[in-house]
Copies of this chain bind each other. A is one copy, B any other.
Amino acid sequence: MVLPNMAKKKVVAADKTTEEKIKEAARTVFMKKGYAATRTRDIAEEAGLNLALLNYYFRSKEKLFEIVMMEKMQKLFGIIAPILNDNTTTLEKKAELAADTYIHMLSENPDLPIFVLSEIRNNPERFASKVQAGKLIQDSHFVKQIKEKRPDMNPLHFMTSFLALIVFPFIAKPVLQDAANLSPKAFNAMMEERKALIPLWFKALMKAK
Contact = CB atoms under 8 A, between A and B. Distances in A.
A5 interface: no
23 contacts: A33-B36, A34-B122, A36-B37, A114-B114, A117-B171, A117-B172, A121-B174, A128-B175, A133-B179, A138-B181, A154-B190, A154-B193, A157-B190, A157-B193, A160-B168, A160-B169, A160-B172, A164-B167, A164-B172, A167-B172, A168-B171, A200-B209, A201-B204
A174 B204 contact: no
A179 B117 contact: no
A146 to B, nearest CB: 13
- Chain A interface mostly: helix
A106 interface: no
A51 interface: no
A150 B114 CA distance: 31
A105 interface: no
Q: How many chain copies does the complex carry? A: 2
Contacts of A193: 154, 157
Given A36-B37, A157-B193, A174 B209 contact: no
Interface in A170-209: 171-172, 174-182, 190, 193-194, 197, 200-201, 203-205, 207-209
Contact of A179 (B134, B154, B178): B134
A165 interface: yes
Given A118-B34, A168-B167, A197-B157, A129 B178 contact: yes
Interface of A: 33-37, 111, 114, 117-118, 120-122, 124, 128-129, 131, 133-134, 136-138, 154, 156-157, 160-161, 163-165, 167-169, 171-172, 174-182, 190, 193-194, 197, 200-201, 203-205, 207-209
Nearest to A187: B156
Q: Which 6 interchain pairs have the tightest Cβ spacing? A: A164-B168, A36-B37, A36-B36, A204-B208, A133-B179, A204-B204
